[in-house]
Structure 1
Amino acid sequence: MPEEPRRPDPKLLELLVCPLTKAPLRYDRDANELISEQAGLAYPIRDGIPIMLASEARTLG
């Protein structure tokens, strides 16, 4: 059975904004990503740590 990804601290999620647009982020629990609708990017979360680098983000299609 695959291990469920570690989720980030909910209080941390309230504080984070997109580093490019400074807009709020939406947490996508299923994909374990932080979504910036304004920038069209999805920032990955690895081991419960949001990776807030545009170079690591996935472009939303």
Structure 2
Amino acid sequence: MTVDNGVRVVAGAMVLLSVILTTLVHPNFIWLTAFIGANLIQSAYTGICPAAYVLKKLGFK
């Protein structure tokens, strides 16, 4: 799997997790979803993505 696909999988899983947590645990978990969205926008403009860095260290190509 490529780093780009891995980032999409991680982002999608985190969004789903945050929606589940918001629904089942506490409404303030919506801020996790907002943070993920802001991080995706920031990485599109700057090219710096923490998830991509971690996935590269884990051996994704």
Q: Specify the TM-score bucket, using the shorter chain as the normaliser.
A: under 0.3
Q: Highest Rg: 1 or 2?
A: 2
TM-score w.r.t. structure 2 length?
Answer: 0.26
Which structure is higher in helix share? 2
Normalization by structure 1: what TM-score?
Answer: 0.26
Pick the structure with more strand per residue: 1
- Asked which structure has the greater RCO (Cα within 8 Å, sep 6+), the reply is 2
